[in-house]
Amino acid sequence: MELIYKSTRGQEGVTASQAILKGLADDGGLYVPTHIPALDVPVEKLAQMTYQEVAYEVMKLYLTDFTEEELKNCINKAYDSKFDAQEIAPMVYADGAYYLELFHGATIAFKDMALSILPHLMTTSAKKNYVDHEIVILTATSGDTGKAAMAGFADVEGTKIIVFYPKDGVSPVQEKQMVTQKGKNTFVVGIHGNFDDAQTGVKKMFGDKALAQLLDKNGYQFSSANSINIGRLVPQIVYYVYAYAMLVHNEEIKNGEKINVVVPTGNFGNILAAYYAKNMGLPIDRLICASNENKVLYDFFTTGIYDRNRDFILTSSPSMDILISSNLERLIYKIAGDDPNVNASLMSALSGEGKYVITPEMRESLRDFYGNYASEEETAATIHDLYEDTGYVIDTHTAVASAVYKKYVDDTSDTKKTVIASTASPFKFARSVMTAIDKKYESMDDFDLIDELSNISGVPVPKAVEELRTAPVLHTTQCDVDEMEATVKKWLNIQE
């Protein structure tokens, strides 16, 4: 049976491939499936499968207009030797929790898990829908999405990719990864603003009908590689199913035993994928949402009020420095009883007044979620203590999740087996990680720190970081927030 996708703001349905191509619905809403499909393969069987095989069993339920051959081809091209772990997403047990390492891809962050397959899903979708325009991937990044998207789309025929990032809001390694990106079809722009400014600017361009007509006249059409694209969300569901199957395979849990999942998140896509997995029938109990000091999601789960009217804080976990959690809209739509009018009015309040309040009935639907946050001091202490106690080194984002998990256990006394989404390699945030372990590292330069991190952790320097030592800077463009559209037009050489 074909699964159709509707906009969270009411627009009529499209196929999976059409939703992937468009990225964002014309009415500004996000595409969601008309129902969440149930897993149709027993966990005992999944427990014997490779990551690629599990990916097919999950994704075939969502991408129903792809043939088996098309989908398997996309999966096999994505999850190959680009990943430095055969399991693709290995798990490490440390200090009472299972760390699901989602950073073994080409850019050493969890975004690789979805962005290594999205270009293949998109080019397949373009062929299926007889698209003859060049697809322009327009993306805002808080640090990781940009590089992972460019790595995926670099020199992919029929596509161009433009990435906007906050000039002073990413780590040195994140910035170096982006500005050294090769590929004739890649373009990176540092904006004078924060991630929310970048994300708002990109969404504004998506919603601009006159700009869409101008692109069309010049042989282009926009699509997105951000987590608003359903082609990003569906591959993320896979690794939660795989993690559960691996726990069963390794006899860490019995089939059917419930687990908890902890996810460090700013834009809400990664934890939403776990929510979808739970709704497919995966035995997940609590979904633990971990925030940094930009704790807009923690406040939402605590009060039922989403309020972005607050100071934006630059933290050591920059990929979570976000005040507008785009993917939360998909959850709001669901707990509003799939009512696009309720959702649209709340989103209108968010863009107008910067806040909205959900009803008591909607709050009741959030009881599967637990929200908390970690301060900068708690994040650093978690990295230090886990290393001292176990020798295992985690990055700053994963440390936020680990710190929040300890708070959850203290608050609830719930000691179910728990998977923590480990979203980035510590090598990506070496300065913050190493100075958390010992202040003596503060005076070392970035690459000496990276070598020392390799030394103390026993983990080789990832290829993605090693290559940066000598990589030339290829992108130097910067712009103000109100110049984003003009910058896009100039690069594409668009004629008015």
| DSSP result, 257-270 | --EEEEEE-SSSHH
**Biggest distance spanned by C-alpha atoms of the chain:** 63
What is the pairing mode between strands 259-264 and 355-357? unpaired
Orientation angle between helical segments 484-492 and 209-217, nearest 10 degrees: 10
Q: Known catalytic residue: 77?
A: no
* Residue 341: CB atoms within 10 Å: 10
CA distance 29 to 119: 22
Amino acid at 330: R
From 6, 22, 60, 111, active-site residue = 111
Which of 5, 423, 1 lies closest to 231 in space, CA to CA? Answer: 5
CA distance 282 to 279: 7
Which of 366, 304, 288, 307 lies closest to 334 in space, CA to CA? Answer: 366
> What's the N-to-C CA distance of the chain in angstroms?
44
- Residues 80-109 as b/e (b if ≥16 CB within 10 A, e otherwise) read eebbeeeebbbbeebeebbbbbbbbbbbbb
Orientation angle between helical segments 484-492 and 195-206, nearest 10 degrees: 60
- C-alpha 165 chain-centroid distance: 15
CA distance 193 to 1: 45
Q: Where are the alpha helices (DSSP H) in 336-429?
A: 340-353, 360-364, 376-390, 396-412
Please say whether the beta carbons of 441 and 435 come within 8 A.
yes
Which of 36, 2, 25, 13 lies closest to 329 in space, CA to CA? Answer: 25
CA distance 469 to 150: 19
Q: Which residue has the tokens 């070392």?
A: 444
Please say whether the beta carbons of 31 and 333 come within 8 A.
no
Signed CA dihedral, 185, 189, 194, 200: sign only: negative
CA distance 113 to 362: 31
Going by C-beta distance under 8 Å and a sequence separation of 6 or more, which residues neighbour residue 318? 142, 143, 169, 170, 171, 174
Going from the C-alpha of 43 to that of each of 12, 255, 308, 368, the distances in angstroms are 34, 7, 40, 22
Q: Which residues are catalytic, by number?
A: 111
